Amino acid sequence: MRVTIGDVAVLAGVSKTTVSRVLNDRGEVDGETARRVQEVIDRLGYVPSARAVGLALGRTSTVGMLVPSLDWPWMSEIVQGVADTLEVQKYGLLLYTCTRGQVSLDQFAASVAAHSCDGVLVVVPENGLGYVTDLYERGLPVVMIDDRGFGPALPTVACTNLAGGASAARHLLELGRRSPIVLTGRLEYGCVQERLAGFAQVYRSAGRPLADEQIIEGDFTAAGGRAAVEMAGRSGRQFDAVFAMNDLSAAGVLAGIRESGRMVPDDVAVIGFDDVEVAVHTDPRLTTVHQPIREMGATAASMLLAALAGAPLPVEPTVLETTLVVRGSTVP
């Protein structure tokens, strides 16, 4: 039979809350009582559950994380940054995806309602912002990672998308590239709008404003990158550079340019965004705007843990810097 926290409490002559405080080593139990409780724990061979350890605080020592999918190229880095930070503080992680749409969101909602976690980290899935915002407004600590233009409704960790787009444009202009194509993601995403605005502003300031036909809406996939190159070729549009708003679509662009018989970077320079693993495995290796992806996850986790310890969550977004990483797709 499994030994419970109640068994320990009865044999030690204390409450379950006192046992939990001893397990948490919070220093709120006098030395003699703590020694007696620890002796009973040792004698019974009691192994505490996470729920029992958090009983005194009304906590689970577990953080929930809701993400759209694990298929996104940078998601593993976000999750790893979160996991590394939580592990140091002896917190567990419950990871939820929304690959089944509303069914997945309902499952997450049921878990939160059962108090399975102390707070939530979220990369907001489609149609999930309203529910997550409601959780926050009802008092559950929530931190959003990469707001994608959803606005400041929640405490947020993001990166300098506007500056990232601008750095890509400046690099291309310095190389003499005057006729770029911009391959976006879904235009309703705020991060896409910011990257496009930063890029376009630099070209406009240089006397080369972007025409509508230079902007192609993509879907952040390699197939979409290849299709964008084919579309530009069929239209007869002349271009000497492509700024793709994620590395996966940039990899597709590289393939499409190679299939068209043109050379990278001699004929067309290519820049991506994110600096995920694929960027160093393309041929040539991809120049890209580096997002501090793992740091974003770690920063969000640290913010949430601080809130669980009593610190207020920041009202303004926490914004991390992007940097341009130059490789062979722009400079031989």
Domain of residue 119, residue span: 62-159+293-321
| Amino acid present at 162 | L
Cα separation, 207 vs 178, whole angstroms = 10
Provide the whole-model pTM: 0.80
Domain membership flag for residue 39: yes
Structure tokens given for 257:
């340019």
Instruction: Give the pLDDT of the chain (332 residues) as one tens digit per residue.
Output: 567 778 888 888 988 888 877 776 656 788 888 889 888 888 887 765 544 544 444 578 899 999 988 988 889 999 999 999 999 999 999 999 988 888 888 888 888 877 788 999 999 887 778 888 888 888 889 999 986 655 557 899 999 999 999 999 999 999 999 999 999 998 888 889 999 999 999 999 999 999 999 999 999 999 999 999 999 988 888 999 999 999 999 999 999 999 999 999 999 999 999 999 999 999 999 999 999 999 999 999 999 999 998 899 988 889 999 999 999 999 98
Domains identified in the chain, total number: 3
Neighbouring residues of 132: CB distance < 8 A, sequence distance ≥ 6: 66, 120, 122, 124, 142, 144, 154
Residues 100 and 139 in one domain: yes
* Residue 197 is assigned to a structural domain of this protein: yes
Region label for 205, one of left (φ > 0), alpha (ψ between -120 and 50) or beta (otherwise):
alpha
Q: Say yes or no: 131 and 197 in one domain.
A: no
Q: Which of 150, 227, 154, 225 is nearest to 192 (CA)?
A: 150
